[in-house]
Structure 1
Amino acid sequence: MHAWQAVERGHEVVQLEREPEARGASVRNFGLVWVGGRAAGAELDVALRARELWERIGERVPALGFRANGSLTVLRTPAEVAVAEETAARADASERGLKLLDPAEVRALNPAVRGDLLAALWCERDGAVEPRTAQPALRAALEASGRYTWLPGREVRSVSAGRVRDDRGDEHRADVVVLCTGAWLGGVVRELTGGVPVRRVRLQMMQTEPLGEPLTTSVADGDSLRYYPAYRGAALDALNSGQPQPDVAREHAMQLLVVQRLDGGLTIGDTHAYDEPFPFDTEDAPYDHLAAVAEQVLGRPLPRVARRWAGVYAQCRDTSRVVHREQVEPGVWLVTGPGGRGMTCSPAIASDTADEVGL
């Protein structure tokens, strides 16, 4: 997205990528453009601007698979409904596109949600893209500009004002250097900064074979209310004290999110682990829990799980900060730590970087 912003503003861009293709959190995510749960203030502002940018870029790059499908947070207990009622009554609810729906309204909007529920919180501002294909689609559009060069399989070894040297010994010169390092916080990042106020977070997710019917919205369960800052308040405090999570969900800091891919499969997750060193393997118990909750919400068996994966992303330790953006040398900027909001907010984060740098 930083490359997109620079090319859009008339500049030439050379992009270096450590891997032959991106393999980190940029592809190991839901592809959610998730506005409803964002914290009021700066985070919501960034998410709303990003949502508009995703739609505009999606119109120009259809292969992104952008769709304004919205989301339903399914509520199955009175305590969960109370949190949604409190959230929907706030002054910024209309800005987020929030509305509380009864079961009949839920099923009219998304007939695939057949499980037992009391209500659902609808967010019409949410959207989705295809994370596995978004980057190749953007690169193809950038290359068509004639002002973009993609150099994969190159790790940056040194950076100084106007110069970048990679592990092949090649030197690249530029007026501005932007380091978008994701969860890679060692090496040249540590050399330039001595360490950044960012932590790493690990997740587990999975994807099924095609569902066989449209899931017309993204879907979340009531545990997502515990995770996103927009829902904080007296009703959430009551939910946390009076309705504890199942042990496996609590131990793995879990929520259910479900997004249908363009091929009909479902991306389902996720867990959160914060203490390193992270395990090198995945655990089955969280997957079993997610599958069971998804089946309860949908009121039907899930298709066969085709893929499972773990991923790691970088999150600012001060979680009220949307991103860590720092000028580490004259003309050299480090941008990292968006956390789980990275896919949602990336277009606006890049636009803000471009403004601050003066592109």
Structure 2
Amino acid sequence: MRVIVVGAGVVGTMHAWQAVERGHEVVQIEREAEARGASLRNFGQIWVSGRAGGEELETALRARDLWEDIGARVPRLGFRANGSLTPVRNELELAVAEAAVARPDAAARGYRLLTDEEARAVNPALRGEFTAALHCERDAAVEPRTAQLALRTALRASGRHTFLPGREVREVVGNAAVRDDHGDVHRGDAVVLCTGAWLGGLVRELAPALPVRRVRLQMAQTDPLGEPLTTSIADADSFRYYPAYRSPALDALAAGQEQEPVAAAHRMQLLMVQRRDGGLTIGDTHEYEHPFAFDTLEDPYEHLTGVIEGFLGRPLPRIRRRWAGVYAQCTDSGRVVHRERVEDGVWLVTGPGGRGMTCSPAIAERTADELGW
């Protein structure tokens, strides 16, 4: 087959990977010189721990296995099975962690409840004050700024992958055929539109009632920590935003412990991952109302700094990069991704939200299976 993939973010690139793996020829078209959206502006987390039970967790676990397999073949992905820790500081937070460990799918997620001493043995960089920690062994990480480049280098080596940057697909011109803004027509046996948060133009024309919204977030990266941070780190505010933690204990936490005002105003949680250079990627905020602000605000970064320093027991290294990103999220919270045939031979795959980096290999595998690749 000849497969046309539109979009060079992680979802598009994983669709290209699946097609090449199955022996097909791929033409991958990207409107920028390189992908610049949420696929780069994220934590690089393969985040199993907070996923909803059922299909979402199954997708995340399958994707976790695929990431590990691909990472072994493409070392530049920087795949590492680092797991995560969510330190808790009081009885209300501890009760949510205990409820998570009591889930019937806790073993599949690799949940363990650790004492503070056990958590410090897993991650010695945590020298601050906390009483216990939820450990998820199945969480992992890759390098988000370079993952697509590494994957594309491996795809090019197959001899069956062509990358066409700087071209915006403007029109569907027949069965499995599209025209770009250079006037060139690309014909194949299937076209897959993986356009991320770009929901206007052709996407709006093809799917005017698309059940997907855009979400903006703020993040940052620090100078090197100077020591290994052996796991990813979350804080108890993350319990409020991930469906795996919904329970009467979470209701009690919400009723009995208000978020800090800055965290509540910006719908914040702490997520933190160490990069290969030793720096820390930290975040994040959530903004849903359009139009989005064009600037980044300092209050969220100051809040994150305080939370992190409380866990590390030391000053946070200097922040050297700050940025905002936008991703596309299904408005139906029960769906992992929106997958729709929008024209003959043309499919749209979008809206994984914060699950994109985690679930993209399994999302692409499902697309390939459904399309009979």
TM-score under structure 2 length normalisation: 0.96
Residue of structure 1 in register with 2:218 after alignment: 204
Q: How many residues align?
A: 359
Q: d(CA) in 2 for partners of 1:169 and 1:113?
A: 56
Tell me whether 1:331 sits opposite 2:345 in the alignment.
yes
2:305 is aligned with what amino acid?
A
Residue of structure 1 in register with 2:54 after alignment: 41
Q: Which runs of 5+ in 1 are unaligned?
A: none
Q: d(CA) in 1 for partners of 2:219 and 2:290?
A: 19
Residue of structure 2 in register with 1:22 after alignment: 35
Q: d(CA) in 2 for partners of 1:343 and 1:235?
A: 29
Residue of structure 1 in register with 2:246 after alignment: 232
Residue of structure 1 in register with 2:121 after alignment: 108
1:179 is aligned with what amino acid?
L
Q: Which runs of 5+ in 2 are unaligned?
A: 1-13
Residue of structure 2 in register with 1:173 after alignment: 187
Residue of structure 2 in register with 1:97 after alignment: 110
Mean CA deviation greater in 6-15 or 288-297: 288-297
Identity rate of aligned residues, in percent?
Answer: 72
Shift of 1:77: 1.4
Q: d(CA) in 1 for partners of 2:195 and 2:110?
A: 33
Q: d(CA) in 2 for partners of 1:280 and 1:357?
A: 39
Shift of 1:192: 1.1
TM-score under structure 1 length normalisation: 0.99
Q: d(CA) in 2 for partners of 1:162 and 1:329?
A: 8
Residue of structure 1 in register with 2:86 after alignment: 73
Q: d(CA) in 1 for partners of 2:116 and 2:176?
A: 58
Alignment RMSD (CA, Å): 0.6
Say whether the 8 Å CA contact 1:113–1:298 is kept in structure 2: yes
Aligned partner of residue 125 in structure 2, secondary structure: coil
Tell me whether 1:340 sits opposite 2:354 in the alignment.
yes
1:213 maps to which of 208, 227, 232: 227
Q: d(CA) in 1 for partners of 2:331 and 2:103?
A: 27
Q: d(CA) in 2 for partners of 1:192 and 1:339?
A: 20
Q: d(CA) in 1 for partners of 2:205 and 2:368?
A: 24
Shift of 1:193: 1.6
Q: d(CA) in 1 for partners of 2:257 and 2:207?
A: 43
Aligned partner of residue 151 in structure 1, secondary structure: strand
Mean CA deviation greater in 161-170 or 100-109: 161-170
Aligned partner of residue 116 in structure 1, secondary structure: coil
Tell me whether 1:8 sits opposite 2:21 in the alignment.
yes
Shift of 1:163: 1.1
1:67 is aligned with what amino acid?
R
Aligned partner of residue 306 in structure 2, secondary structure: helix
Alignment of 1:190-339 (within 5 A): 190-339=204-353
Aligned partner of residue 342 in structure 1, secondary structure: helix
1:243 is aligned with what amino acid?
Q
Shift of 1:92: 0.7
Consecutive aligned runs of 4 or more in structure 1 exceeding 6 Å deviation = none
Q: d(CA) in 1 for partners of 2:234 and 2:47?
A: 11
Q: d(CA) in 1 for partners of 2:325 and 2:43?
A: 12
